[in-house]
Amino acid sequence: MSFGQNPLPDRKEMIALIRKAVELGVTFFDTTEVYGPYTNEELVGEALEPFKGEVVIAT
């Protein structure tokens, strides 16, 4: 969502996609600093902030 694609996807659309995944039952998200660095972690963190305590984020 933030690395290896040109042009980069729209940030707001990617946040909406991640939040939709949670609504559909996804509770585990895996990311790494190699996708940025830190850019993808920031995106995932922002997207999942409303779900704090409900999901697991692995880095």
pLDDT of 17: 97
Q: DSSP code of 7? A: S
How many whole angstroms separate alpha carbon 26 and alpha carbon 10? 21
Residue boundaries of the structural domains of the chain: 11-58
DSSP 3-state of 4: coil
Share of the chain above pLDDT 70, in %: 98
Of the residues 15, 19, 21, 35, which is catalytic?
Answer: 35
pLDDT of 33: 77
Whether 38 is catalytic:
no
pLDDT surpasses 90 at 6: no
Per-residue pLDDT band at 8 (split at 50, 70, 90): confident
Q: Confirm if 52 and 18 have CB atoms less than 8 A apart.
A: no
Q: DSSP code of 27? A: -
Q: CB within 8 A of 21, min separation 6: which ones?
A: none
